[in-house]
Amino acid sequence: MKKIRSQVTIAIDGPAGSGKSTVARRVAEKLGLLYLDSGAMYRAVTVLAIRGELTTDSPELLEQVKACHIQFKDNGKTILLNAEDVSHQIRTPAVNRRVADVAKIPEIRHEIVKHQQRIGGEGSIIAEGRDLTTIVFPNADFKFYLDASVTERAKRRLAEFRRQNVEITLAAVEAEISDRDEKDKTRAHSPLRTADDAIVVDTTDKTINEVVDFIIARVSEDKSTSEK
Ligand code: CDP
């Protein structure tokens, strides 16, 4: 395992399918960091909205968000919503279609960001999403923005759906992520944007391991982060 300083925060942002989750999970394993999948939290809250047939701006949904318990197990592989394992349910096309509308509600973001910052205060962490480098951890030690062409991102997402036996076409996946990109980048609160001090990585023609190695090299080469 590479040596980095005892307390480190690595934040990654980028659009759907840019490789953030897979990359962050592997870096977490290799460096022994806590992994925070911030999108999973917005997805869990979207499950509450769908189940309760609640509109995204309803007071009922906000109450449920304030009262719910979201916990991660197995370093982010499992997510529990009020003690129920919703790890598979949060990845369905129905949640994909709805999540950006839930995530644009400022009061819901406020609750979730508080929770994320509490988790970040517990120790060294690698966290990924849409506003980790800008809002959640603006003072992160390392910031990365991962991107890739929309077609490449749609192909990656389609492969994930195929593994889960979800029937969907490439065109439908591309339309869904383009729609989500647009909503995430243009919303009034905490839009997806590249932080001024983030390192931008175009992953279109890179393998997961190439991106993982790039991030680990940047984190390790920084002398100030090496353990004395
Ligand atoms: O895995 P994928 O990139 O498709 O999405 P995700 O990271 O699970 O995030 C799902 C959605 O949650 C995004 O499209 C955003 O609308 C929202 N989100 C957000 O607003 N802020 C975050 N920090 C993370 C996700």
Q: Which of 42, 79, 96, 174 to mutate to test the pocket of ligand 1 (most atoms within 8 A of CB)?
A: 42
Q: pTM value? A: 0.93
C-beta atoms surrounding 113 within 10 Å: 18
pLDDT recorded at residue 93: 86
The residue nearest atom 21 of ligand 1, judged by CA position, is 130
Domain boundaries, the chain: 10-212
Which of 145, 113, 187, 186 minimizes the C-alpha distance to 19?
145
* Domain 10-212, CATH among 3.30.70.20, 3.40.50.300, 3.40.1280.10, 3.40.50.2300: 3.40.50.300
pLDDT over 80 at 100, yes or no:
yes
**Does 60 score more than 80 pLDDT?**
yes
How far does residue 202's CA lie from ligand 1's centre (Å)? 19
Q: What is the pLDDT of residue 4?
A: 60
Rounded average pLDDT over 59-76: 96
Residues touching ligand 1 (Cβ under 6 Å) are 16, 21, 38-40, 42-43, 99-100, 103, 129-132, 180, 184
Q: What's the half-sphere exposure (Cβ side, CA atoms, 13 Å) at 50?
A: 17
Residue of 116, 117, 150, 180 best suited for mutating to test ligand 1, as the one with most atoms within 8 Å of CB:
180
For residue 183, the ligand 1 atom closest to its alpha carbon is 16
Would you say residue 90 has pLDDT above 60? yes
Query: pLDDT for 101-124, tens place per residue?
Result: 999 999 999 999 999 999 999 999
